[in-house]
Amino acid sequence: MSRYLISHTHEPGECLKTFDSYLHAGAHYLTQAEWGCDAGVHAAWLIVEADNDNEALLVVPPIVRTSAQLVRLTRYTPEQLRALHRDEMR
């Protein structure tokens, strides 16, 4: 399984609408989300484990899936990160 960061932004006036979309989709959606609205960053973030991108997106409510951003997270050792970017440093 891989870990994914899923983010979904919304406009300041859409906070309650977005929150309600998570709530109406099911409490399990809402309990996974972290929100930045009170800091002026109108977004929700989730970190989930899934077998692939499509499975990871199933964690967000259907209404926001098409606009959600998905990033597969990877932890690297210093050696792995250097090897990954070796060509860029030349």
The answer to whether the beta carbons of residues 67 and 7 sit under 8 Å apart is: no
Please report the domains of the chain, with CATH numbers, ordered by start residue. Answer: 2-89 (3.30.70.1060)
pLDDT in tens, 21-80: 888 887 777 788 999 999 999 999 999 999 999 999 998 888 889 999 999 999 999 998
pLDDT beyond 60 at 90: no
Distance CA 32, CA 29 (A): 6
Distance CA 49, CA 73 (A): 10
E-strand spans in 11-78?
Answer: 34-35, 43-50, 69-73
For 88, the token pair is: 């860029």
